Chains A and B, each alone.
Chain A
Amino acid sequence: MMVWLDHHRAAARLAMRRLGAAPLNSLLYLLAIGVALALPAGGQMLLANALGLAGTTAAAPQISIFMASSADRAMAAEIESRLKKRSDIKRVQFLPRDETLARMKANPGLREVIEALAANPFPDAFVLTAADERPEVMEQLAVEFRQWPKVEHVQLDSAWVRRLDALLKLGRTAVLVLGVLLSAGLIAISFSIIRMQVLTYRAEIEVSRLLGATDSFVRRPFLYYGLLLGLGGGIVAWLLVGAAALWLRAPLGELVRLYDLTLVLQSLDARDSALLLAVAAGLGWLGALISLSEYLRQN
């Protein structure tokens, strides 16, 4: 156990030393890996922010029911009690036509128009929040309410929720595809870098084997090298995404404000950051493992 630990400690130290032996090379390697990883990581950052934004604004997609203008108060009261009995409706807000009229009259531009009309043009209305906010469920409810007596019109404001939902789904797929592609790229980068390392330290590998080194002894420092390379690249990617988030925060906030929303762009959260670093380190290690196994098999 102690021997095993010593071996690992020595291999890690050797890997560090090799990284430090050619600082410019190492820096460029890290940059290459970092930029490659920054693309999916940045996509994930934007997606997480978009999800957050959607979560706050689309929290309660609503259904509006407008009564026919011929319906009297009793009809409206009946509809209201029907709605309130249902467990699939979370909240019912009744908007009496008189109140709507009064509220509209408060708007100076509309007042004159409304006063020119002979009768109150507004119907009694209900605004509902469903217990289950999935678009298909809301659609079903709307279809049902349209059958009810004296209901003139049922409006679903879930259409844009659906669009947003589809857009986010697309975004998630794009990030996933990008992530998979660039992960494969990272393995390839690590493979080639380790290949070059192996050629650089070929003499050492040969001597070690002649002196009785096992394959795993020979492999170990290179695996650490690959791991450190991946981890370093992951940190570079993390910094790039963080910088991008800071840089985009003001202009994006302004853009979103035009839509009456607020957004303070956040960099990757703790979970995504940990995932990024773990995946980067793992892939660097994997590239090294493939590279070394290939070399040891051939020699």
Chain B
Amino acid sequence: MAAVIRFDRVSKRYPPGLDALSDISFEVAEREMVLIGGHSGAGKSTLLKLVAAVEKSTGGAVLVGGQNVSGLARSALPYLRRRIGMVFQDQKLLFDRNVFENVMLPLSITGFPPREAAQRVRAALDKVGLANREKALPVMLSGGEQQRLAIARAVVGRPNLLLADEPTAHLDSDTAADVARIFHEFNHVGVTVLIATYAGELFPGARRLQLDHGKLLP
């Protein structure tokens, strides 16, 4: 099966000489679910940021859908990111907009027809179990609900690649299991999923990559 993500001897060095990642090579196949484990500061978040070209590698090639994203022009970045769903560690919800509007944002950005967009937003909210919280502001949601909202926003554009950075951190075990189940469901319908997490046991059946001080353990 074709590789959705391919890292070829990728390194990322932050000035003045801190190596966040060095000589990383791996592939993620279509429809695969892959976990990236490792201690805090091992480079998990940096790796995800390289996939979405939020950061650029300082060595090697990061290919997403066959396209080398570290060489992408600034003007091409938006179109790469529209193909990727991202769940951020700090969620990055907009607190002055309600649940519905938060999920609507990616569709507004791509210029979806409003009526169809609204249907998609409701479908995404339904899938994460927030269908009855449309009008709520994010502050009114519990931690688990906020995380599910972040997931709904990541998947509303129906990306074929979903990235998540510590999606179950700070959640109690029941809620964490619930969130993990949602990722499994998306994976089952064909979405390639790459998750950086401490809590590998929540995602049984997923392939694991282990980072240690910026290096991939064999």
| Interface residue ranges, A against B (CB under 8 Å) | 2-4, 6-7, 10, 203-204, 206-215, 217
**Using an 8 Å CB-CB cutoff, how does the interface string of B13-56 with A read, 1 for contact, 0 for none?**
00000000000000000000000000000000000000010100
Contact B52 A210 (CB under 8 A): yes
**B contact residues around A10 at 8 Å (CB):** 108
Contact B105 A6 (CB under 8 A): no
Contact A212 B94 (CB under 8 A): no
**B contact residues around A210 at 8 Å (CB):** 52, 54, 81, 86, 88, 92
16 pairs from A and B in contact (CB 8 Å cutoff): A3-B113, A6-B114, A203-B94, A204-B94, A206-B92, A207-B92, A208-B105, A210-B88, A211-B86, A211-B105, A211-B106, A212-B79, A213-B78, A214-B75, A215-B75, A217-B109
Chain B interface size band reads 20 to 34
Contact A209 B78 (CB under 8 A): yes
Contact B94 A207 (CB under 8 A): yes
**A contact residues around B78 at 8 Å (CB):** 209, 212-214, 217
**A contact residues around B52 at 8 Å (CB):** 210
**Chain B residue, CB-CB nearest to A4:** B111
Contact B109 A213 (CB under 8 A): yes
Tell me if B110 counts as interface (CB < 8 A to partner A).
yes
Least CB distance from B100 to A in Å reads: 14
Least CB distance from A151 to B in Å reads: 81
**Using an 8 Å CB-CB cutoff, how does the interface string of B77-114 with A read, 1 for contact, 0 for none?**
01111100010100010100000000001101111011
**A contact residues around B86 at 8 Å (CB):** 210-211
| Secondary structure of the A contact surface, majority rule | helix
**Using an 8 Å CB-CB cutoff, how does the interface string of B151-172 with A read, 1 for contact, 0 for none?**
0010000000000000000000
Which residue of B86, B108, B113 has the most chain A CB atoms within 10 A of its CB atom?
B108
**Chain A residue, CB-CB nearest to B154:** A211
- Please report the C-alpha to C-alpha distance between residue A217 and residue B75 in the assembled complex, in whole angstroms: 12
Q: Beyond the given A6-B114, A212-B81, could you list 18 further A-B residue pairs with CB under 8 A, ordered by the A residue number?
A: A3-B111, A3-B113, A6-B113, A7-B111, A204-B94, A207-B92, A207-B105, A209-B78, A209-B81, A210-B52, A210-B88, A210-B92, A211-B86, A211-B105, A211-B153, A212-B78, A212-B79, A214-B75
**B contact residues around A215 at 8 Å (CB):** 75
- Please report the C-alpha to C-alpha distance between residue A3 and residue B106 in the assembled complex, in whole angstroms: 14
Contact A203 B81 (CB under 8 A): no
Least CB distance from A51 to B in Å reads: 51
- Please report the C-alpha to C-alpha distance between residue A49 and residue B94 in the assembled complex, in whole angstroms: 53
- Please report the C-alpha to C-alpha distance between residue A208 and residue B107 in the assembled complex, in whole angstroms: 11
**B contact residues around A214 at 8 Å (CB):** 75, 78
Least CB distance from B105 to A in Å reads: 6
**A contact residues around B82 at 8 Å (CB):** 211-212
**A contact residues around B81 at 8 Å (CB):** 209-212
Which residue of A208, A211, A213, A214 has the most chain B CB atoms within 10 A of its CB atom?
A211
**Chain B residue, CB-CB nearest to A9:** B114
Least CB distance from B180 to A in Å reads: 23
- Please report the C-alpha to C-alpha distance between residue A30 and residue B105 in the assembled complex, in whole angstroms: 30
Closest 8 pairs (CB-CB, A-B): A3-B111, A212-B82, A212-B81, A212-B78, A213-B109, A211-B106, A214-B78, A207-B92
